[in-house]
Chains A and B, each alone.
Chain A
Amino acid sequence: MRGVALRKTVMKPLIRATSLLFSVLFAGVSFAQHEGHDHAASDTTHVHEVVIPTADVHDGHPNEATGEAHDAHGVAKFNPGEMIMGHVGDEHGWHLWGHTSLPLPILVYNTQRGFSAFSSAHFDHGHKTHGGYMLHEGKLVATDAADGTDAHHATENEALTKATWDLSITKNVLAMLVSVVLMLMIFLSVAAAYKKRGTSAPKGLQSFIEPIILFVRDDVAKANIGPKYERFMPFLLTVFFFILINNLMGLIPIFPFGANVSGSISVTFTLAAITFVLTLINGNRHYWGHILAMPGVPKPVLLILTPVEILGVFLRPAILMIRLFANITAGHIIVLSFFSLIFIFGEINAGLGWGVSIFSLVFTIFMSMMELLVAFIQAFVFTFLSAMYLGSAIEEPHHH
Chain B
Amino acid sequence: MDRSMTTPEKGRKGRLDPSTYMRLSGMGLTMMAVVLAFTFTGHWLDGLLGWRFPLFTILLALVGIAGAIIHLIRETGRK
Q: Which residues of A contact B (CB under 8 A)?
A: 1, 4-5, 7-8, 219, 222-224, 294, 301, 304-305, 307-309, 311-312, 315-316, 318-320, 322-323, 381, 384-385, 388
Contact = CB atoms under 8 A, between A and B. Distances in A.
A308 B9 contact: no
B15 A308 contact: no
B45 interface: no
A381 B63 contact: no
Nearest to B71: A308
Interface in B42-79: 63, 66-68, 70-71, 74
Contact of B68 (A294, A308, A323, A384): A308
Given A304-B63, A381-B22, A388-B22, A319 B29 contact: yes
Nearest to A220: B18
Interface in B19-39: 19, 21-23, 25-26, 29-30, 33-34, 37-38
Contacts of B26: 315-316, 319-320, 323, 385
B16 interface: yes
A223 B3 CA distance: 12
B66 A304 contact: yes
B18 A308 contact: no
Contacts of B13: 1
B30 A312 contact: yes
B28 to A, nearest CB: 9
A315 B33 contact: yes
Nearest to B16: A4
Contacts of A222: 9
A301 B70 contact: yes
Contacts of B70: 301, 304-305, 308
Question: Does more than half of chain B's interface fall in helix, strand or loop, or is it mixed?
Answer: helix
A301 B74 CA distance: 12
23 contacts: A1-B13, A4-B16, A8-B16, A223-B9, A223-B10, A301-B70, A304-B66, A305-B71, A308-B34, A308-B67, A308-B70, A309-B71, A311-B33, A311-B34, A312-B30, A312-B71, A315-B34, A318-B33, A319-B29, A319-B30, A322-B29, A323-B25, A384-B18
Nearest to B79: A398
B22 A385 contact: yes
Contacts of A385: 22, 25-26
A384 B21 CA distance: 12
Top 5 nearest A-B pairs (CB, nearest first) are: A319-B26, A308-B67, A304-B67, A308-B71, A319-B29
Contacts of B9: 222-223
Contacts of B33: 311, 315, 318
B12 to A, nearest CB: 10
B29 A315 contact: yes
A316 B23 CA distance: 10
A7 to B, nearest CB: 8
Nearest to A219: B18
A186 to B, nearest CB: 26
